[in-house]
Amino acid sequence: MRASHLNKALAYLSKLEQWMTSLKYDQNEINKEGWEKVALAYSGDSASEDDPNLREFARNEFIKRLDGKHVLEVGCGPGTDAAKFHELGFEVLATDYSSRFLDVVRERYPYLKVKLFDMVQPESLHQKFDGIYGFGSFIHIPRELCCESLRNLNGILKRGGVLCLQLIQSSKGIEQYYIDDWAGDPQCSMLFNCYAPVEIEAQLRLAGFTEVEFLTMPASIYDEIPRLIERGITGYFVFARAA
Ligand SMILES: C[S@@+](CC[C@H](N)C(=O)[O-])C[C@H]1O[C@@H](n2cnc3c(N)ncnc32)[C@H](O)[C@@H]1O
């Protein structure tokens, strides 16, 4: 092949790579726009937990593994868990990439610290935490951005700090799916990602985490939701430590 042909081919490949990269981020932006649209509907009229036993279980399991008081919640939504961590005496920073959710948090819990934070973007918090808690949020990150998002989270944990994510897996081998009409909005189609534990463990280790540990989700309202049953979806928690 002549040098000029080779250069053209390389330029084409580089453009293709840029295009593929922008697609991954585009999907994250599409999800974000979706959450902005449904944030108020998702938050409901008042602060309440629809699955209090499960939430308490999850918070307690996280707290058991936490060594310190500084907690970052990622994808906090309406702030229910962040408010509980605050009640329990933790210094919590409630974050989400949707400003509408943060408005709800400010209105419901004016004493909470809140900040816009997108897990797929490199660190912008200028602070390190003893623990990071994400309930139902990481599953919306485009799977092509899984490892780099985990790396971002690792970068804002203190050494030995613990990450706790609530994730889903599918017994039918589904990797990702979309729900149209999400939160009752015909304009919102939402992406969900399923991870087999071995897969997320590999990604966590690649992202620099150690001591990966799994916990099955106890029985909850999610066991009866038809859209989850038909896809063979069950939830679990993963804990991992920043090396
Ligand atoms: C299913 S809701 C869960 C909200 C809350 N954790 C709860 O349990 O009620 C998912 C949340 O993750 C947030 N989220 C999704 N992708 C995110 C990202 N890349 N960075 C930050 N937040 C994200 C959404 O805005 C939304 O608030």
Q: What is the pLDDT of residues 101-112, one digit of tens each?
A: 999 999 999 999
Predicted local confidence at residue 48, as pLDDT: 83
User: How far is the C-alpha of 160 from the C-alpha of 6, rounded, in Å?
Assistant: 48
CA of 13 to the centre of ligand 1 (A): 34
Of the pLDDT bands very low, low, confident and very high (cuts 50, 70, 90), residue 163 is: very high
Instruction: Give per-residue pLDDT as tens, 112-129.
Output: 999 999 999 977 788 999
Which is more confidently placed, 4 or 108? 108
Mean pLDDT (the chain) is 94
Whether 135 is in the pocket of ligand 1, judged by its Cβ within 6 Å, is yes
Its pTM surpasses 0.85? yes
Three-state SS for 115? Answer: strand
| pLDDT at residue number 18 | 67
For residue 234, pLDDT over 90 is answered with yes
Which helix (H) or strand (E) element contains residue 212? strand 209-216
Q: Is the pLDDT of residue 80 over 90?
A: yes
Task: Using alpha carbons, list the distances in angstroms from residue 138 to 9, 18, 69, 147, 198.
Answer: 37, 24, 22, 11, 16
Which among 81, 96, 228 is the best mutation to test ligand 1's pocket, defined by most ligand atoms within 8 Å of the CB? 96
Q: Order across the sheet with 233-242: list the strands.
A: 113-116, 91-96, 70-73, 129-135, 157-170, 233-242, 209-216
Q: Give how far the C-alpha of residue 145 lies from the chain's centroid of Cα atoms, to the nearest Å.
A: 11
Residues with Cβ within 8 Å of 224's Cβ and at least 6 positions away in sequence, in order, are: none
Cα–Cα distance measured from residue 188 to residue 207, given in angstroms and rounded to the nearest whole number: 31
Please report how the helices 52-65 and 80-87 are oriented relative to each other, as an axis angle in degrees rounded to 10: 50
State whether residue 167 is helix, strand or coil. Answer: strand
Residue nearest to atom 10 of ligand 1 (CA): 137
- Measured in Å, residue 135 CA sits from the centre of ligand 1 at 8
* Nearest CA, atom 4, ligand 1: 77
Cα 117 from Cα 169, distance rounded (Å): 25
pLDDT over 80 at 192, yes or no: yes
CA gap 164, 233 in Å, rounded:
19
Going from the Cα of 75 to the center of ligand 1, the distance in angstroms, rounded, reads 3
Flag whether pLDDT at 12 surpasses 90.
Answer: no
pLDDT given for residue 238 in this prediction:
98
Q: Is 76 in the pocket of ligand 1 (CB under 6 A)?
A: yes
Place of tokens 């449904």: 38
In terms of average pLDDT, the best of 17-26, 197-206, 213-222 is 197-206
pLDDT digits (tens, 9 = 90+) for 166-186: 999 999 999 999 999 999 999
Q: Where are the strands (E) in 74-175, listed by range?
A: 91-96, 113-116, 129-135, 157-170
User: Confidence band (pLDDT; 50, 70, 90) for 145?
Assistant: very high
Query: 92 CA to middle of ligand 1, Å?
Result: 16
74 CB within 6 A, ligand 1: yes
The residue whose two tokens read 């599953």 is 139
According to the model, what pLDDT value does residue 184 have?
93
Q: How far is the CA of 150 from the centre of ligand 1 (A)?
A: 15
pLDDT of residue 1: 64
For range 142-166, the mean pLDDT: 97
Which has more confidence, 194 or 3? Answer: 194
Residue 43 Cβ inside 6 Å of ligand 1? The answer reads: no
Mode of pairing for the β-strands spanning 176-179 and 190-193:
antiparallel
pLDDT given for residue 212 in this prediction: 98
Q: What distance in Å separates the CA atoms of residue 224 and residue 228, rounded to the nearest whole number?
A: 8
In this structure, are residues 242 and 158 in contact, taking their beta carbons and an 8 Å threshold? yes
Pairing of strands 209-216, 233-242: antiparallel
